[in-house]
Chains A and B, each alone.
Chain A
């Protein structure tokens, strides 16, 4: 029998309000109101409640926990992901996987843990004046976060899906390394993306949020923060609407939270959208700009024997080789990783229809999949996307895939094919509607060279949304300062991936944890001093 720490905590009297069940309007009062319960909001709730501050957390998604996590895509995507895991850019060319539940994306991520790479921090110091963010300085905060969520070397051998990347890389002299993971007592099941059923993943759901709740913090789930209310240049309250059902219907019941300080941590699409809906001062037009995605290419391979990419820790090997072949501000680099292979996500990702599609699906057990995450935001031709509000105030990301991106995409598809063939692939199929598959590396090289990659036809996905409330020393260049404090509004902070001024160039969870911890600790000190 697996314990469910959330249900146990609720039984002990944790203060949780499911706003969808409220019969009438509610008003709450706090020292700090945190909007969003993902990587940034979770850490902030823990750090601030630990100093004795009264914290209220607002979350649009549902409170779900290990008992609910039945390892089914049909249940996980609609209940745990933004827009049922089908959130898309405005032109529909990029599918975005992002969490929408208590714990945010940390509840559904694949446990991949990297510190912010040194070249990224260096670029931020030089380009955005974030001079304090050195490796040494941030290293102390990463250490704290690594201890909290148990980020450690993963001693279990990689599953075959990941082993292919390692084998192929080794054959070609391309360095492939092992990924550290935030797990404790992991069963090595492979279903991290559907919510960990054993609570092994040390997400915000089972670490910081329980810690804050056990100190008397209040969690309001199924409440959408519609807008911040300003009084005399300060935020006086946040107006929320109760959600209905399991999806996106809103009810008539409203929840209002007043607080001394407000922390926006709704993720890099919803955070800028909340500030936009609230008409937050934005004198230099920086809000919702520079949104980055690590736009990712996908390459499948028929290995001719069992891979079974659905089982075993989903991401355990990676290569940064192609992040180092050019200068960081030169042609775009990419990181190679391996995703889990489950029927729904695989069926909608692989190309073709009818018999071609069926042949791919029925060969799923022998299929290896590699992904290339492109490091966007470091070049003049990689300014990222813009968050816009639709007519009903719902956000949408406009992100144009341009020639600069497709140059990297071409190199990435070539690199993945070469590695997959080196590892023994019988056939490699870079995912583009016009590619039916290549039998040899020579064929892949010639075929890809002749193809003009383009949006929609070439499959591009993202699981990392960053930017939109960028931090910069100069208020002309960013929305918040190096401590996540809003440049124009004194009692407003942003603590999530939206503060990153470029993409990270690695899976971002630990970058969010470390920076949020640092900034929440600073805020606690500021509030103590009044």
Chain B
């Protein structure tokens, strides 16, 4: 595991430091792609912090309900990733792996930890990725955005607040 992360680390730090617009790094011949459930389980703290920043007041204010909702989003994200092609799963796992490495994420613009993260700081970090002129950073933002926000609004219990009544009942 360490050697794999090391390869990602070297590859991406090089690219980011050079300011190049590059693809998310990919490891050649490192075996099968992980299942979505495994990927999200390894990075649950990061995903919860990022989801909290992306969703803002869409999440319940009550701490316990909020925690449950974040757990649901992370689980749903895992299911979503499981249904993607192997190399896409690997790209996503590589991105998450990168965000787990402090030196790499400092270079990307976030120096905090994920457990107990300061959500406004995470939001600022995500805004930086989104508004960057580096393709890699923007791709990272949109990957997190689509996975987590899509997983949130796929759940029927989130619809009432949006005014969407859900599908009609057929006789």
Distance in angstroms from B151 CB to nearest chain A CB is 9
A348 touches B149 (CB 8 A): yes
B146 touches A394 (CB 8 A): no
Distance in angstroms from B91 CB to nearest chain A CB is 10
In chain A between 341 and 388, which residues have their CB closer than 8 angstroms to a CB of chain B? Answer: 342-344, 347-348, 353-355, 357-358, 361-365
B23 touches A90 (CB 8 A): yes
**Contact of A343 with B153 at beta-carbon distance under 8 Å, contacts A354-B56, A357-B56 already known:** yes
Chain B CB within 8 A of A5 CB: no
Distance in angstroms from B67 CB to nearest chain A CB is 19
B84 touches A248 (CB 8 A): yes
Q: Pick the contact of B56: A72, A249, A355 (CB < 8 A).
A: A355
A247 touches B54 (CB 8 A): no
Distance in angstroms from A397 CB to nearest chain B CB is 13
Chain B CB within 8 A of A74 CB: yes
In chain B between 43 and 65, which residues have their CB closer than 8 angstroms to a CB of chain A? Answer: 53-58
B54 touches A354 (CB 8 A): yes
Residues of A within 8 A of B161 (CB): 362
Residues of B within 8 A of A449 (CB): none
Q: Which of chain B's residues has its CB closest to A353's CB?
A: B54
B56 touches A364 (CB 8 A): no
Residues of B within 8 A of A455 (CB): 135
Once the chains are docked, how many angstroms separate the CA of A91 from the CA of B126?
A: 19
Chain A CB within 8 A of B82 CB: yes
**Number of CB contacts from chain A to chain B under 8 A:** 122
Once the chains are docked, how many angstroms separate the CA of A246 from the CA of B35?
A: 13
1/0 per residue B14-42: CB within 8 Å of A? 00000000010000110000000000000
Distance in angstroms from B137 CB to nearest chain A CB is 10
Distance in angstroms from A167 CB to nearest chain B CB is 22
Q: Pick the contact of A457: B57, B138, B162 (CB < 8 A).
A: B138
Chain A CB within 8 A of B123 CB: yes
Once the chains are docked, how many angstroms separate the CA of A246 from the CA of B159?
A: 26
Q: Pick the contact of B153: A191, A249, A361, A390 (CB < 8 A).
A: A361
Once the chains are docked, how many angstroms separate the CA of A311 from the CA of B159?
A: 15
Q: Pick the contact of A353: B123, B138, B162, B170 (CB < 8 A).
A: B123
Residues of B within 8 A of A2 (CB): 170
1/0 per residue B130-166: CB within 8 Å of A? 1100010011001101100110111100110111100
Given A187-B170, A248-B86, 11 extra CB contacts under 8 A? A70-B167, A71-B167, A86-B84, A343-B164, A344-B153, A347-B153, A354-B57, A364-B162, A391-B28, A391-B29, A456-B139
20 interchain pairs (CB within 8 A)? Answer: A70-B167, A71-B168, A78-B79, A197-B170, A247-B82, A311-B168, A343-B153, A347-B152, A347-B153, A348-B146, A353-B53, A353-B55, A353-B56, A354-B57, A355-B57, A358-B58, A364-B164, A390-B87, A391-B28, A457-B138
